Amino acid sequence: MSLSTSGLAPRSGSRAFRDAVELLSSMRFAISLLTLICIASIIGTVIKQHEPYNNYVNQFGPFWAEVFDHVGLYTVYSAWWFLLILAFLVTSTSLCIARNTPKILAELRSYKEGIREQSLKAFHHKAEGRLAAPPEVTLARINTLLIAQGWQARAQVRAHGTMVAARKGMANKIGYLAAHSAIVLICLGGLFDGDLVVRAQMALLGKTPYDGSGLVGDVPAKHRLSQRNPTFRGNLLVPEGGRAGVAVLSMSDGVVLQDLPFDVALKKFIVEYYDTGMPKLFASEIVIHDRETGVATAATVKVNEPVFHRGIAIYQSSFDDGGSRLKLHALPMTAGGQAFDIEGTVGGSTELRGGAGAQQLTLEFAGLRVINVENLANEGAASATDVRKVDLTRSLNKHLGSGAKGGDGQQLRNVGPSVSYRLRDASGQAREYNNYMLPVELDGQRLFLAGVRDTPAEPFRYLRIPVDEADSIAGWQRLHAALKDSALRDQAVSRYAAQSAPADKPEMAEQLRLTAERALGLFAGAEATKPGAAADAAPGGLQALAQFVESNVPEADRSRIAEVLLRITNGTLFELNQLARARAGLAPLSTGDATQRFMTQAVLSLSDAAFYPAPVLLQLRDFTQVQASVFQLARAPGKKLVYLGAVLLIIGVFAMLYIRERRLWIWLQPDDSGGTLLQTALSTTRRTLDVDAEFDRLKSALLASPPKASP
């Protein structure tokens, strides 16, 4: 029997109704739905699910991001159309099973012994011959042979002979039912364990998603689901020493809170790392406090080793910051700013209030990482940038580069703690910052790294700040503040001109002073790069010098003039640093290699600081880490259906692929000499070499003469 791909054909109802039922119950419709589910699954894999909306805007643009959002591509597996496809697939496959099950059961009961003997000559596998033994003896021998080879047989005695019908591999039909039933069970399990039941409860019970903020206990009841909710999957964040009993279920338009029949208290969170800095073990020592009985049960949750309580599975999902306490030192990046200390908690925020006219910013403490393993391999100290060799018109177009240059090899090292924070302006726009607490050695020099990025989709760009002789950031900050002081710049220019002017040409001192004043003013961002332009037309740094050269110097002389300006800028900055140290009561720097390396990197970092988009740079001074464990809690009654469906799917696929249904007919007819005329034929669903070989063996065994009895 070949199973039809057409559907049910009702005999009553309108033509449209009969066509709809036929289409819905047809195998071609089910295959089309499976194809759509595969395409949707590919989309859900390619497009990251449940990401912040701004990430999609940056990736696809405002128009397509909104279109994809309306279609539901950011939450494919809970989109209404995906659930509708699953529902249609369940219905279609169920109808296919209902349509074919009676036929399959009839096939399993039938031996088809009523076939006519003349029909055996029409089969591909057929044979005939004459045996000397009478039909009764031949029938007994054939019966023994078929039983020995695993055939089920039934004989039909007719007026002029006997038809033996045998069958083998009938489990192939069971495989069809098992595979199709598996699809139904897996889809039903997915629907039960998805958010379809949650959405149905919300619609029937008047629940709505919550998109606000605040304490969990203050969320109204209309945003909460009952403890009797039969299925859910949510997250629970518990800090060390804390306790929580409300899971958060993420929805496309907010969150829904799920009240639990117990509280989870986190005693200790354990995390172990590989040498690469990747976590290799998450474990949480918890205590489950049952609300009904009051019993406290201690347990340990590990990745892939969940704990079960009252039918709810507690999985170790990840870890997070539980509200670490931070102490930061704010370094001013604008003229006239004052350094100050600030404290906060990860997850909290505070206001940064400046002077009159200053922009009001909200400081959001985003996170603390105690361990940072970075690849510090590079091309060696020779790759360190030399100010005197900078190509102003080409090499300085990119500012605030990566924290560590990539090399061919790997040199993994823990560079210590880092803090991340966001500065949000009054319009709601925010930049994210990531600053390391300790200096990092790069290119043979110790540097503080201060990172910034405009969106979460971008990598951090790092400002490299050299350490002073005390291994601190104070030397660079002192020079940065002095660069913003016009009076101190004038003193540095005068000292440089007096020391650098030739003794035999005193008239050049004034010209050198004017050139140095112009160069340092451009570098500090205090002068315009073009005549008649505003002073803030260029942000300062080496980029301002490059713009000045391109705008005011003929192309043939640009290289020479650029080198002169760089040398003068370098010299005036050195004098400026000496003046700043003297004002701070420190001894002047010597003119050795260490000073040269510091000044070289200081010039580059001061140039990049002109593009640092923040009025302050926050340096981590101290912290008290508080870790938190993120658990995934799931009540999933549908998983048993999924497990059963998986077992049936394996059985069904193997039965259909590796078990061949075969039917054998043997016609026995007596001849005039007292012997037997034998005619046989074999039918199979698939013709293979194995079937050919099997029929050849059967033919030889059936037509072979029986051994003679011993005298």
Residue 699's domain is classified under what CATH number? Answer: 3.30.310.10
What pLDDT shows up at residue 392?
39
- In a domain, residue 711? The reply is no
Q: Quick one: 214 and 312 in the same domain?
A: yes
pLDDT of residue 390 exceeding 70, the answer is no
What pLDDT shows up at residue 381?
35
Look at residues 107, 139, 155 and tell me which one is the last residue of a structural domain: 107
Look at residues 625, 645, 677 and tell me which one is the last residue of a structural domain: 625
If pLDDT is split at 50, 70 and 90, which confidence band does 604 have? very high
- In a domain, residue 178? The reply is no
Q: Quick one: 317 and 374 in the same domain?
A: no
Q: Quick one: 97 and 29 in the same domain?
A: yes
If pLDDT is split at 50, 70 and 90, which confidence band does 285 have? very high
If pLDDT is split at 50, 70 and 90, which confidence band does 385 have? very low
**Averaged over 259-277, what is the pLDDT?**
86
| Residue 290 contacts residue 254 (beta carbons within 8 Å) | no
pLDDT of residue 370 exceeding 70, the answer is yes
Residue type, 160: H
Angle between helix axes 593-609 and 474-483 (nearest 10 degrees) is 60
Q: Quick one: 461 and 402 in the same domain?
A: yes
- In a domain, residue 647? The reply is no
pLDDT of residue 247 exceeding 50, the answer is yes
Nearest to 29 by CA among 100, 94, 105: 94
Instruction: State the Cα–Cα distance between residues 536 and 228, nearest whole angstrom.
Output: 64
| Residue 352 contacts residue 616 (beta carbons within 8 Å) | yes
Q: Quick one: 609 and 483 in the same domain?
A: yes
| Residue 269 contacts residue 284 (beta carbons within 8 Å) | yes
If pLDDT is split at 50, 70 and 90, which confidence band does 5 have? low
Write out pLDDT tens, residues 617-644: 999 999 999 989 999 999 988 888 999 9
Nearest to 415 by CA among 367, 462, 374, 473: 374
pLDDT of residue 701 exceeding 80, the answer is yes
- Block residue for tokens 């474990």: 283
Look at residues 625, 650, 672 and tell me which one is the last residue of a structural domain: 625
Backbone torsions φ then ψ of 375, nearest 5 degrees: -90, 110
Kindly report whether the global pTM for this prediction surpasses the value 0.85: no
Q: Quick one: 347 and 452 in the same domain?
A: yes
| Residue 442 contacts residue 424 (beta carbons within 8 Å) | no
Which residues are CB-neighbours of 150 under 8 A, at least 6 positions away?
168
**Averaged over 48-56, what is the pLDDT?**
78
Mode of pairing for the β-strands spanning 312-321 and 307-309: antiparallel
Highest mean pLDDT among 343-357, 524-538, 687-701: 687-701
**Averaged over 18-22, what is the pLDDT?**
78
- In a domain, residue 355? The reply is yes
Q: Quick one: 347 and 289 in the same domain?
A: no
Radius of gyration of the chain (CA): 41
Q: Quick one: 257 and 355 in the same domain?
A: no
Write out pLDDT tens, residues 324-358: 999 999 999 988 888 999 999 998 999 986 544 45
What pLDDT shows up at residue 388?
28
- In a domain, residue 506? The reply is yes
- In a domain, residue 29? The reply is yes
Q: Which domain holds residue 153?
A: 113-169+661-703
Q: How many domains, the chain? A: 5
- In a domain, residue 187? The reply is no
What pLDDT shows up at residue 699?
92
What pLDDT shows up at residue 276?
67
Q: Quick one: 163 and 89 in the same domain?
A: no
What pLDDT shows up at residue 537?
52
Q: Quick one: 19 and 89 in the same domain?
A: yes
Nearest to 413 by CA among 276, 295, 257: 276
- In a domain, residue 642? The reply is no
* Average of per-residue pLDDT values in the chain: 85
pLDDT of residue 9 exceeding 80, the answer is no
Q: Tokens standing for 552?
A: 């005011």
Q: Quick one: 220 and 339 in the same domain?
A: no
